[in-house]
C-alpha cells in the first residue's frame, strides 16, 4: 500500500471513529414549540455546540412536557429517561423552597445579565447544585443556570398601577411569585402554561405570568390579552441546564467546559436578542392602537419591590436551604451595588 493510500485510509478511520463517538443528548426544555427562544436556540446555537466540540456532542431540544411533565424533569434526568433538562426551576419550588428563591427573586435583579452573573461568577451554580441534590440524591449535574429575559405580564384588563392589582385573578406558578401577587392584593391561580391562552380568552383569569414579550407575541397571547405590562413588573425566571451525572462524568473535561461555555454564550446572546425583539414589538403594538402597552411608573414598581422583599424573607424561612439561597443572592446583589 502506498503512503498516500495509507494516509487516506488512516484519515477515513479517524473520521469514522470521531463520528462513532459523537453523542446526541436529549434535553427537555420548558419552552413551547412555537416560542421564539426555541427557534433561536435550535437554528443559531445548536450548530455552534457541534462546532465547539468538533462534532463530539450534539443536543436535541424537546418542548415543555414532551417526555415528562416539567415538574418531573429532575427525576427523569437522574434516572436517565432524559439526558438533561433546560427548565425554569420555578417548577420545583413546591418541593424545595430554595428553588423559589433561585428561580425568580421577584423584583430583585434589574437585568437578566445581573442574574446570569450570579450564576456564572457569584456562587449561583453551586447553590443550584445543592437544591438539585436535595431532590435527586446527587444523580444530576447542574452545568449552568440563569435567566434570559425579563418577562412581560399579559393582561386582558388594564393594570396601570400597583393598586390595580387588587382583586385581579392572575395565573402564576406556585411559590414565591404567587406569594408576591397575593401580598400585592391579587388572587393567584395555578394553571398549566398550556392552558393560559384559553384561560385568558374565556376570562378565567385577568392576567398571566407567561413569558417574554416576544414569546407572548409569538403564541398569540397579546391578541387575547391586549394590555401587556412591559417592561415587566415581576418576573425574571432562571433556567437550569442539567445533565445526568453518569453521562456528565463520561464526557471529557474539554467537552464539559465547552458545554458550560456554550450555554452561557447562548444565554447572553439570547438575552440581547430577546430584549431587542421585545422593544421592537412593544413599540409596534403601541403604535398600532389595538394593544395598549402599559409601563408602570417607578413609584408603582418600588411599591411592588417593597412587598416582594418581605416575601423573600418570609419564604426563606421555609427551609435552611432557602435561607442559604437568599443570603447568597443578597451577598451578590450587594457586591454589584443593588444593596448597600
Cell of 137: 440524591
CA-wise closest residue to 123 among 150, 142, 151:
142
Whether the predicted pLDDT of 264 surpasses 90: yes
Fold matches, 22-149+236-276 and 153-234+285-318: yes
Q: Binning pLDDT at 50, 70 and 90, where does residue 222 land? A: very high
- Average pLDDT of 206-228? 92
pLDDT of residue 9: 42
pLDDT of residue 3: 37
**pLDDT tens string 41-64:** 999 999 999 999 999 999 999 999
The secondary structure of residue 237, as a DSSP letter, is: P
Distance CA 105, CA 90 (A): 10
Whether the predicted pLDDT of 73 surpasses 70: yes
Sorted by sequence, the CB contacts under 8 Å of residue 34 that are 6+ apart come out as 218, 219
Domains of the chain: which residue ranges?
22-149+236-276, 153-234+285-318
CATH of 22-149+236-276, one of 3.40.50.300, 3.40.190.170, 3.30.9.10, 3.40.50.720: 3.40.190.170
**Number of helical H runs and strand E runs in the chain:** 15, 9
CATH fold of the domain at 153-234+285-318: D-Maltodextrin-Binding Protein; domain 2 (3.40.190)
Whether the predicted pLDDT of 93 surpasses 50: yes
Whether the predicted pLDDT of 263 surpasses 70: yes
- Average pLDDT of 224-240? 92
Give the mean pLDDT of the chain.
90
**pLDDT tens string 313-323:** 999 999 999 99
What is the pTM assigned to this prediction? 0.79
Whether the predicted pLDDT of 1 surpasses 50: no
Hey, what long-range contacts does 129-132 have (CB within 8 A, 24 or more apart)? 130/98, 130/321, 130/324, 131/89, 131/92, 131/96, 131/98, 131/99, 131/102, 131/321, 131/325, 132/74, 132/240, 132/242
- Would the CA dihedral through 81, 85, 90, 92 be positive or negative? positive
Amino acid at each position: 500500500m502506498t503512503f498516500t493510500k495509507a494516509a487516506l485510509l488512516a484519515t477515513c478511520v479517524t473520521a469514522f471513529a470521531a463520528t462513532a463517538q459523537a453523542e446526541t443528548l436529549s434535553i427537555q426544555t420548558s419552552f413551547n414549540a412555537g416560542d421564539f427562544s426555541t427557534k433561536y436556540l435550535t437554528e443559531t446555537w445548536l450548530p455552534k455546540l457541534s462546532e465547539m466540540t468538533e462534532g463530539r456532542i450534539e443536543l436535541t431540544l424537546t418542548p415543555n412536557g414532551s417526555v415528562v411533565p416539567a415538574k418531573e424533569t429532575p427525576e427523569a434526568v437522574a434516572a436517565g429517561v432524559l439526558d438533561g433538562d433546560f427548565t425554569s426551576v420555578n417548577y420545583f419550588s413546591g418541593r424545595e423552597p430554595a428553588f423559589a428563591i433561585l428561580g425568580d427573586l421577584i423584583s430583585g435583579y434589574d437585568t437578566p445579565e445581573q442574574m446570569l452573573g450570579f450564576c456564572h461568577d457569584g456562587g449561583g451554580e453551586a447553590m443550584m447544585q445543592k437544591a438539585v441534590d436535595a431532590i435527586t440524591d446527587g444523580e444530576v449535574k447542574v452545568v449552568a443556570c440563569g435567566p434570559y429575559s425579563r418577562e412581560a405580564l399579559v393582561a386582558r384588563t388594564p393594570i396601570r398601577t400597583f393598586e390595580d392589582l387588587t382583586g385581579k385573578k392572575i395565573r402564576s406558578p406556585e411559590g414565591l411569585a404567587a406569594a408576591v401577587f397575593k401580598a400585592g392584593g391579587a388572587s393567584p391561580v395555578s394553571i398549566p402554561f398550556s392552558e393560559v391562552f384559553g384561560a385568558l380568552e374565556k376570562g378565567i383569569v385577568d392576567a398571566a405570568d407567561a413569558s417574554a414579550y416576544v414569546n407572548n407575541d409569538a403564541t398569540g397571547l397579546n391578541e387575547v390579552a391586549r394590555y401587556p405590562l412591559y417592561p415587566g413588573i415581576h418576573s425574571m425566571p432562571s433556567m437550569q441546564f442539567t445533565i445526568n451525572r453518569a453521562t456528565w462524568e463520561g464526557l471529557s473535561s474539554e467537552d464539559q467546559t465547552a458545554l458550560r461555555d456554550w450555554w452561557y454564550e447562548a444565554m447572553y446572546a439570547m438575552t440581547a436578542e430577546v430584549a431587542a425583539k421585545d422593544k421592537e414589538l412593544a413599540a409596534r403594538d403601541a403604535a398600532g392602537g389595538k394593544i395598549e402597552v402599559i409601563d408602570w411608573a417607578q413609584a408603582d414598581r418600588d411599591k411592588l419591590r417593597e412587598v416582594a422583599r418581605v416575601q423573600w424573607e418570609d419564604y426563606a424561612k421555609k427551609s435552611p436551604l432557602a435561607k442559604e439561597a437568599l443570603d447568597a443572592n443578597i451577598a451578590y446583589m450587594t457586591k454589584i451595588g443593588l444593596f448597600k
